[in-house]
Structure 1
Amino acid sequence: MTTKFKYRSYKQELLDETNIQKNLLFKNLWELDIMNRNTGGHAITLKGIKQLVTDHTKLYHIVDFGCGSGDSLRTIADWARKNNFNVQLTGVDKNANVIDYLRKHCRTYPEITGIIADHQVFIDQNRTVDIVHCSLFCHHLNENELLKLFTYFSENVKVGFVVNDLQRNWMAYYSAWFFTRLLNGTVLAKNDGPISVLRAFKFSELKYLLEKANIKNYIIEKKQLFRFLVVGKTSNYGTFSA
């Protein structure tokens, strides 16, 4: 058991395929939305966003890589509206059907835009943004891809970034296996839930990648139900209190 969780797995998840049946994909996006709402995933994202969005006079451009259904973007938009912050929200996903789903479910949110693109293509276009958000996205990437992403944070992102992702341990793995079956999840959920944990992170792995990307001003917190919250700020936007 120790060996199984010692290193990150590179086994592919079904959700990474581009030819997923649309009805199955949409049901899985709905499942992920329900999970984030009911297990505190959205609350973790907002805790990070609140540390970066603080100026009522500024328009913040926030980009969500691997945006999925747009559930995180809607959560951020609702919070921003309620608290009188100005945000422009961009969801980036390489699957056109995912962006179709996002556009349908975000149609009452003019501040949300969906873009069909691989995140690396987006990065290579050298677009400068204020904040990047990644929820349950980083574990889909290998170390080289993560280093490139984190270097983009360091060199191109004006305000900061929020990473909301999974911890890798045996309890998280077997919880994912058990609950996706107890709740009769889709074949995507049953397959990808446990694999997501095997592809997830240890604290030391995240710390190593962040510092290798020359990111110094960040915090990593362990959150409920086997999540990590990573929040980073640029040098112009203050430091985290000890």
Structure 2
Amino acid sequence: MLEQRSLQKELLDAEDIPTADLFQTLRELDRINTLLGGYDITFSALKKVVQPEKTYTLIDIGCGGGDTLKRIQQWQLRKNLNLKLIGIDLKPVCIEYATEHKARPDIQFICDDYRNMFQHVPQIDIIHACLFCHHLDERQLIELIQFALDKNAVLIINDLERNWFAYWSIKTLTALFSKSYLVKNDAPISVARGFVKKEWLDLINKAGAKHFSVKNKWAFRHEVIIYKSENGQ
């Protein structure tokens, strides 16, 4: 059943989602990420990339409701790090939610395609994608990796592992506890659109990246880091 990545589109990819339904979904996705430790994969990757004495600009692509940036902000304050945090998303309603619910005024949100990010922010050190890449096809994923390499930015990816146990677990849990029809429909599809490690390695090689790491993490996630070519890490 899950031998190949699903090509089925998620309801969240539609353009005409009612605002109240989307807001409910964003709240639930943050709760699921928190309970399952999904944000920890991002923190683990950032610890390998950032140094306490330096300042970094991080842009979260496909930022949705901005909850990942809020969690990164809380984490960096505990770790005494200096990250300038920016989110970018195509959906105006997501940017509206993110702006209304942001934890601190110094988190910035932009409504645009991620490929236009440098028109808004001239210098970006880290491009971060949390639960964004499984929405993309192979060509788009290769383009994303090459985009980061061309712009001399580190790319951090936190996304789902395609796994039968994860699929049936999230399908059962959301059926029982979710109040969002979007979450109930999309959560198992997201897992089916996820990756196995070999697929990440193939994509990265096709994109021409030389310095990277791909690690399996708890809660059926992958931590992928594409380093800038001169880092050699």
For Structure 1 versus Structure 2, the TM-score category normalised by the shorter chain is: over 0.9
Question: Are 2:135 and 1:140 aligned?
Answer: yes
CA drift of 1:110 comes to: 2.8
SS in 1 for 2:157: strand
Equivalent residue pairs, number: 233
CA contact (8 A) 1:62 1:130 kept: yes
Match of 1:153 among 144, 148, 151: 148
Match of 1:176 among 170, 174, 181: 170
CA contact (8 A) 1:89 1:112 kept: yes
Q: Which residue of 1 aligns with 2:83?
A: 87
CA contact (8 A) 1:154 1:213 kept: no
Unaligned residue ranges in structure 2 (runs of 5+): none
CA distance 1:16–1:101, change in 2 (3 Å):
same
SS in 2 for 1:5: coil
CA contact (8 A) 2:62 2:114 kept: yes
SS in 1 for 2:23: helix
Match of 1:35 among 16, 32, 35: 32
CA distance 1:128–1:46, change in 2 (3 Å):
same
| 4+ runs deviating over 3 angstroms | 120-128, 235-238
Letter in 2 for 1:94: L
Match of 2:209 among 212, 215, 218: 215
> Quick one: distance in 1 between partners of 2:198 and 2:118?
25
Q: Percent identity at matched positions?
A: 37
Query: TM-score, normalising length from structure 2?
Result: 0.93
Query: TM-score, normalising length from structure 1?
Result: 0.90
Q: Which residue of 2 aligns with 1:19?
A: 16
CA drift of 1:231 comes to: 1.7
Matches within 5 A, 1:1-242: 4-56=1-53, 58-106=54-102, 108-122=103-117, 128-158=123-153, 160-239=154-233
> Quick one: distance in 1 between partners of 2:144 and 2:192?
20
CA distance 1:157–1:73, change in 2 (3 Å):
farther
CA drift of 1:122 comes to: 3.5
> Quick one: distance in 1 between partners of 2:45 and 2:171?
28
> Quick one: distance in 1 between partners of 2:93 and 2:149?
31
For each residue in 1:156-196, what CA deviation from the matched residue of structure 2 results, as whole angstroms up to 9, or x when unmatched? Answer: 133x1211111112112111211111213410011101111
CA distance 1:91–1:98, change in 2 (3 Å):
same
For each residue in 1:98-145, what CA deviation from the matched residue of structure 2 results, as whole angstroms up to 9, or x when unmatched? Answer: 001111111x42331111112244479895510011111000001111
CA contact (8 A) 1:173 1:198 kept: yes
Letter in 2 for 1:191: N
CA drift of 1:93 comes to: 0.8
SS in 1 for 2:47: helix
CA distance 1:190–1:65, change in 2 (3 Å):
same
The CA RMSD measured in Å over matched residues stands at: 1.8
